[in-house]
Homo-oligomer: A and B are copies of this chain.
Amino acid sequence: MTPSALLDHFGVAVSALSGVLAARGKNLDLFGVIVLALVTALGGGTIRDLLAGVAPVSWLSSPELLSTIWITAILGFFACRRFEPPLPVFQLADALALCAFAVAGTRKGLLLGFAPTIAITLGVITGVAGGIIRDTLTGDVPVVFRKNTFFYATAAFFGGLVYCIAWKLLEDEQATWIAVGSSVVLRLGALRYRLSLPAFESGVVSGRN
């Protein structure tokens, strides 16, 4: 399997798992959980491909990607009915999906010939898209827009930036895993030490019509 295909499988699997974990407590049936896992896992890549003009979108010609998602969703569903995974499992799956998609989006953007700033922007949007779709559909405020996001979109941006630099210096495979690894460390470190960028204070609210 090429590094690119591996990254895609890894991304959709952890992303599907985050979809299953987000489905807990919503009383979804098995099929609803699978649909949620599918849109969470494929949403990022779909948006990336549509924006970049890759059509039909790439997962339509990758039945293996769909198999990965179905298997992850079904195993995850029955595992979660049996065991109660602690909160960090969700946070880890979500961070891995965020960073894997951010790097994959940046990488595809560069391969298609876009400038690094465009490729990184594409990567950030791709990285946060899966979680936004998942949380919007289950009626939660998307992680990226919650209080105390602790370097969420920032980690996606950082992953894309590291990839753009490492790509010039190293081989593709190394660059990919360094970028994914360092951005996951940034995200989990920020969660652990509760680091944040400046934010709107909650006092500054006013009613909108």
Say yes or no for A193: interface residue by CB 8 A criterion.
Answer: no
Q: State A50–B207 Cα separation when bound (angstroms).
A: 34
Q: Which of A169-200 contact B (CB under 8 A)?
A: 196-200
- Is A29 touching B149 in the complex (CB atoms < 8 A)? yes
Interface centre among A55, A112, A198, A209 (most CB of B within 10 A): A209
Say yes or no for A28: interface residue by CB 8 A criterion.
Answer: yes
Q: How many residues of A contact B (CB 8 A)?
A: 79
- Shortest Cβ distance from residue A90 to the other chain B in the assembled complex, whole angstroms: 6
User: CB-CB contacts of A48-79 with B at 8 A, as 1s and 0s?
Assistant: 00111101110011010010000000000100
Closest 7 CB pairs of A and B: A25-B205, A53-B55, A53-B56, A29-B197, A27-B147, A31-B153, A29-B199
Interface centre among A90, A122, A206 (most CB of B within 10 A): A206
Question: Across the interface, which residues of B come within 8 angstroms of A137, CB to CB?
Answer: 132, 136, 142, 145
Query: With A52-B56, A57-B53, A118-B63 in contact, do A128 and B197 touch (Cβ < 8 Å)?
Result: no
Point out residues on A near B: beta carbons under 8 Å.
Answer: 21-36, 38-39, 46, 50-53, 55-57, 60-61, 63, 66, 77, 80-81, 84, 87, 90-91, 112, 114-115, 117-118, 121-122, 124-125, 128, 132, 136-142, 144-149, 151-154, 157, 196-202, 204-209
Question: Across the interface, which residues of B come within 8 angstroms of A57, CB to CB?
Answer: 50-51, 53
Query: With A35-B144, A137-B145, A145-B137 in contact, do A198 and B53 touch (Cβ < 8 Å)?
Result: no
